[in-house]
């Protein structure tokens, strides 16, 4: 008998993940493929996180601490907030979902600013929310447009800052203006998955707004990017304790695996790994800027660990050509731009390989 899914599911498009290295190597019969498609840290995890996990392995027979006590304590000290301001999730993806599960009623409006991270739309639609789109203008958020779009039905605003896939950033001044205008019934979600890479003095201090407590704001961060722990799935949210308490009500009892908790707590203290990761990213982005400029390809200066760049030919074609050379990137069409690519900044060697392959693709075209 045919089983009907909830009507809300009709709008949902399945997430299309970046191709895993092993899959590409298997399919093409090649070795040494590199993945510059999911904004992972090319240096890998912090050595302190690896050592902590090794020590903890034998506790795998126990359920993890559902409250993530040690990790929250470490985060609270690191961020200078109370432990009750924190919730940890199975990646920040899970927290996006907890937010809509806890706060969204069917028919509520959710503001999303494309091109952006697809999980905002997913989390909204899953709960029957109605997405209202405020498209970016030349890849920068249209903040006046966003303010104007807030209406009586608006419940949630999702802002990636820096944004994925563009790497662009909302400044402190622009965010302040938006926040001042927020009605009491609206929740602003500031997704700061890439905040540790930002090298601009104009980046907003989102935690100051959270501590201030006058508006409904949650900041989301993750151990998947600069901390190099994407495979362990650990992200967290920072918000007023009353808001956090609602999210705890809808999370599963053991939502964060114990190795992830142990690794994340150790990674926070590894400032050397963090600095190295920042440095490699900063140098990599300068290299890519120079090379793309010399090839005459447009790119957006990035505040994150990836570059949104013009594709020399339709992006799927370029993707396939690069793939045949063992390089996995992200096509812009999944964000609505057939003439763009998103490439993660890799190690110096990976960046050189990417540029060499891109030059081959250009000369072949
Ligand atoms: C803007 C943004 N937010 C959140 C995430 C998800 O991070 P996590 O691995 O913590 O679920 C990503 C991952 O690509 C992202 O780009």
Report the interhelical angle of 118-126 vs 92-103 (nearest 10°).
30
Residues 89 and 32 in one domain: no
Instruction: Tell me the per-residue pLDDT of 277-312, one tens digit each, with 9 for 90 and over.
Output: 999 999 999 999 999 999 999 999 999 999 999 999
Examine residue 163 and state whether it is found in any structural domain, yes or no.
yes
Percent of the chain past pLDDT 90, that is, above it, reads 92
Residue 365 has pLDDT above 90, yes or no: no
The answer to whether the CB of 163 is under 6 A from ligand 1 is no
Q: What is the mean pLDDT of residues 66-78?
A: 98
Residues 103 and 176 in one domain: yes
Residues 115 and 208 in one domain: yes
Q: Which of 268, 296, 315 is the last residue of a domain?
A: 268
Domain of 111, CATH number, reads: 3.40.640.10
Residues 256 and 309 in one domain: no
What CA–CA distance (Å, rounded) separates 30 from 326? 7
pLDDT attached to residue 16 = 78
Residues 30 and 57 in one domain: no
Specify the number of domains making up the chain: 2
Q: What is the mean pLDDT of residues 233-254?
A: 98
pLDDT attached to residue 17 = 81
**CB crowding 141-167: b at 16 or more within 10 Å, else e:** bebeebbebbeeebbbbbbbbbbbbbb
> pTM, whole model, 2 decimals?
0.97
Residue 30 has pLDDT above 80, yes or no: yes
Residues 141 and 59 in one domain: yes
The answer to whether 337 and 136 are in contact (CB under 8 A) is no
List of residues 6+ apart from 149 with CB closer than 8 A: 111, 132, 134
Kindly report the protein residue whose alpha carbon is nearest to atom 2 of ligand 1: 193
Residues 197 and 282 in one domain: no
Q: Which of 205, 235, 268 is the last residue of a domain?
A: 268
**Residue 39 CA, closest ligand 1 atom number:** 14
Residues 320 and 301 in one domain: yes
Residues 279 and 259 in one domain: no
Residue 344 has pLDDT above 80, yes or no: yes
Residues 30 and 99 in one domain: no
Measured at the alpha carbon of residue 70, what is the angle toward residues 247 and 189, in degrees to the nearest 5?
30
The answer to whether the CB of 90 is under 6 A from ligand 1 is no
Residues 227 and 320 in one domain: no
Examine residue 6 and state whether it is found in any structural domain, yes or no.
no
Residue 206 has pLDDT above 80, yes or no: yes
Residue 242 has pLDDT above 90, yes or no: yes
Mean pLDDT of the chain, nearest integer: 96
Residues 94 and 195 in one domain: yes
Its domain, for residue 276, covers 18-44+272-364
Please give the backbone phi and psi of residue 310, each rounded to the nearest 5 degrees, phi first.
-70, 135
pLDDT attached to residue 186 = 98
The answer to whether the CB of 92 is under 6 A from ligand 1 is yes
**Residue 94 CA, closest ligand 1 atom number:** 11
Domain of 301, CATH number, reads: 3.90.1150.10
Instruction: Tell me the per-residue pLDDT of 155-199, one tens digit each, with 9 for 90 and over.
Output: 999 999 999 999 999 999 999 999 999 999 999 999 999 999 999
Examine residue 64 and state whether it is found in any structural domain, yes or no.
yes
Residue 6 has pLDDT above 80, yes or no: yes
Q: What is the mean pLDDT of residues 41-48?
A: 98
HEC readout, 37-88 = CCCCCCCCCCHHHHHHHHHHHHHHHCCCCCCCHHHHHHHHHHHCCCHHHEEE
Residue 18 has pLDDT above 90, yes or no: no
Q: Which of 218, 233, 268 is the last residue of a domain?
A: 268
């Amino acid at each position: 008998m045919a089983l009907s899914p909830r009507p809300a599911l009709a709008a949902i498009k399945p997430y299309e993940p970046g191709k895993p290295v092993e899959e590409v190597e298997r399919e093409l019969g090649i070795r040494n493929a590199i993945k510059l498609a999911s904004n992972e840290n090319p240096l890998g995890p912090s050595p302190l996180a690896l050592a902590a996990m090794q020590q903890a392995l034998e506790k795998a027979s126990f359920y993890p601490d559902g409250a993530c006590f040690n990790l929250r304590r470490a985060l609270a000290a690191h961020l200078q907030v109370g432990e009750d301001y924190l919730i940890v999730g199975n990646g920040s993806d899970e927290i996006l979902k907890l937010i809509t599960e806890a706060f969204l009623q069917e028919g509520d409006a959710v503001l999303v600013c494309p091109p952006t991270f697809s999980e905002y739309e997913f989390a909204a639609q899953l709960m029957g929310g109605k997405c209202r789109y405020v498209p970016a203008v030349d890849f920068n958020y249209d903040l006046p447009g966003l303010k104007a779009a807030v209406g009586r039905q608006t419940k949630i605003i999702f802002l990636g800052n820096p944004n994925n896939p563009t790497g662009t950033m909302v400044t402190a001044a622009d965010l302040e203006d938006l926040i001042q205008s927020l009605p009491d019934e609206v929740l602003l979600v500031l997704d700061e998955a890439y905040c540790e890479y930002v090298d601009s003095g104009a980046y907003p201090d989102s935690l100051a707004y959270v501590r201030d407590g006058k508006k409904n704001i949650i900041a989301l961060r993750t151990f998947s990017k600069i901390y190099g722990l994407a495979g362990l799935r650990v992200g967290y949210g920072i918000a007023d304790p009353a808001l956090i308490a609602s999210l705890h009500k809808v999370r599963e009892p053991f939502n964060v695996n114990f190795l992830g908790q142990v690794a994340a707590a150790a990674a926070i203290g590894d400032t050397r790994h963090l600095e190295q990761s920042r440095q490699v990213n900063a140098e990599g982005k300068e290299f890519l800027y120079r090379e793309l400029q010399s090839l005459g390809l447009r790119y957006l200066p990035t505040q994150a660990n990836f570059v949104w760049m013009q594709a020399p030919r339709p992006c799927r074609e370029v993707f396939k050509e690069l793939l045949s050379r063992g390089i996995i990137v992200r096509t812009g069409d999944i964000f609505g731009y057939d003439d763009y690519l998103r490439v993660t900044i890799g190690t110096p060697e990976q960046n050189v390989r990417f540029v060499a392959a891109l030059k081959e693709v250009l000369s072949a075209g």
